Amino acid sequence: MNTDALRGHMDALLLSVLENDPLHGYAIIEALQERSGGTLTVPTGTVYPALRRLEQAGYLASEWATVGGRKRRTYRLTSAGRTALAGERSAWREFAGVIGSVLEPRTTR
């Protein structure tokens, strides 16, 4: 998939994969790939800065944990993040509807 097409939607994607369970960075990347049927391959250089930005905005909280002897930062959605995700989903439905109405062939009368 064209990564330019993801521009502007990365926050919504990240918030969505964190909706149900806290995940560490690499697990977030794997979740994006799995939920997209293998279509989305998002580089770490895109994901980690976005996670930090979302945390600074108050949409995510994080904590360090040791898993298998390795320290990992685990992210979880905050209540503000849930509200932001709801807004992102609403905006996406509106955007997809408008673009779809333009791209779909028009029936002639």
Q: CA angle, corner 42, sides to 47 and 48, nearest 5?
A: 10
Beta bridge partners of 64: 73
pLDDT at 4: 65
What is the span of the domain harbouring residue 15?
3-103
Give domain status of residue 108, yes or no. no
Give domain status of residue 21, yes or no. yes
Give domain status of residue 109, yes or no. no
Contact 39, 1 (CB under 8 A): yes
Count of domains for the chain: 1
Give domain status of residue 76, yes or no. yes
| CATH number for the domain harbouring residue 64 | 1.10.10.10
Q: What is the pLDDT along the chain (109 residues), one digit of tens a residue?
A: 656 667 788 999 999 999 999 999 999 999 999 999 999 888 888 899 999 999 999 999 999 988 788 899 999 999 999 999 999 999 999 999 999 999 988 877 6
Give domain status of residue 24, yes or no. yes
pLDDT at 53: 96
